[in-house]
Amino acid sequence: MKILITGTAGFIGFYLAEKLVSLGHSVTGIDNINDYYDVRLKYARLAQSGIKKDAIRYGEEIPSAALPSYSFFKLDITDREKLFALFAEKQFDCVCNLAAQAGVRYSLENPYAYIDSNISGFINILEACRLQSVKHLVYASSSSVYGENEKVPFAVSDRADHPISLYAATKRSNELMAHTYSHLFGIPCTGLRFFTVYGPWGRPDMAYFKFANAIMNNKPIELYNNGDMLRDFTYIDDIVEGIVAAIQHIPPAAPTPFALYNLGNNRPEKLTEFVGALEKGLSREAEKIYLGMQPGDVPVTMADIDATRLDLGWQPKTTIADGLKLFADWFIEYNAKDEEGSYQ
């Protein structure tokens, strides 16, 4: 297939591009390479994918020097004119929308970034899919849409009308927008609610990454809710396998070609135990500061993946111990190679 992935300088998009190329697909990646976190990591991911920083020009196609049938455009999904032109030129079979303004706490500081990217950008994706009759849109949602849901584990059949952060509200909006386009125009749409994705090449704004950076620099780490948070940490390879399974499973046309799935480990870990596994992987102990709950956070996330298993044949395989060891090994190696010092 000809597949577009938005957000290929990002964590999940970087891995997904490599996986889909390895499966024989023709992949186009786009990313605006914004500075929400240090762009050196984004350029390093692109370099791993065979896209050299010096060759990048806005709106221009760059063939990968490392991956066959992969090319990259620096492009913002809010740039409607150029996005529509790209869709018209490439005639994609499938679109994987991973581009978004991420982060719960940052939405308290810069709400407009979430409206621009996650709402305005997403309607551009939907419209482009409609205009070019794309056969399947797969897009990233989030476990944060469950908000104040007290029922555990979280199931896609549960109500999701009490988001407690603007980020969560925009992700729930994406699901509703996609459902509307599926209903009105028959566009097959699959939303994937990711649960705390971690692993090598991950996002520096995520807690586990901040913890590793602090531990290696002999700084204390902050544990919210006194460390009693429970999170369904899900390893990147498992997430990518779930996305690939979703791409291959187009929702049936009747009554509406629309589906939602959880992609989570289904085994929530207490934050303090997660930190213990990270300490073991880094061979260092952390100095811990215990704090209360933060606005927009929830105490527990846990995915009900029965529907995902049934429809997609997907099951997470990576244990926390194994996943964090792989992350820790990468983290140490990457920072050792960074001549400019720590990039966080």
DSSP 51-106: --GGG--BT-EEE-SSSTTEEEEE--TT-HHHHHHHHHHH--SEEEE------STH
Question: Which of 167, 208, 235, 261 is flagged as catalytic?
Answer: 167
Whether the Cβ atoms of residue 165 and residue 293 lie closer than 8 Å to each other = no
Is residue 49 in a domain?
yes
pTM for this entry: 0.94
The pLDDT score that the predictor gives to residue 342 is 43
CATH number at residue 140: 3.40.50.720
Per-residue buried b or exposed e for 196-222, using 16+ beta carbons within 10 Å of the residue's own CB: bbbbbbbbbbbbbbbbbbbbbeeeebe
**Residue 205, in any domain of the structure:** no
Is there a domain that residue 219 lies in?
Answer: no
Which residues partner with 277 through β-bridges? none
Mean pLDDT in order along the chain per 10 residues (344 residues): 98 98 98 95 97 97 97 98 98 98 87 97 98 98 89 92 92 98 98 96 93 94 88 96 98 95 93 94 94 78 95 96 96 78 42
Distances (CA, A) of 177 to 31, 92, 171, 289, 338: 22, 20, 10, 41, 41
Task: Kindly report the number of other CB atoms within 10 A of residue 295's CB atom.
Answer: 9
- Does residue 71 sit within a domain? yes
Tell me, yes or no, whether 8 lies in a domain. Answer: yes
Alpha-helical regions (H) of 283-341? 306-312, 320-337
**Residue 204 lies inside a defined structural domain of this protein:** no
Quick check: is 341 in a domain? no
Alpha-carbon span 249 to 313, nearest angstrom: 10
Residue 24 domain flag:
yes
Task: Count up the domains in the chain and report the number.
Answer: 1
83 Cβ contact partners less than 8 Å away, ≥ 6 residues apart: 75, 77, 124, 125, 128
Question: Which residues span the domain enclosing 60?
Answer: 2-198+233-265+301-317
Q: What 3-state class would DSSP assign to 257?
A: coil
Burial of 277 (0-12, 13-18, 19+ CB in 10 A): buried
Check residue 338 and give its pLDDT: 59
Q: 167 an active-site residue?
A: yes
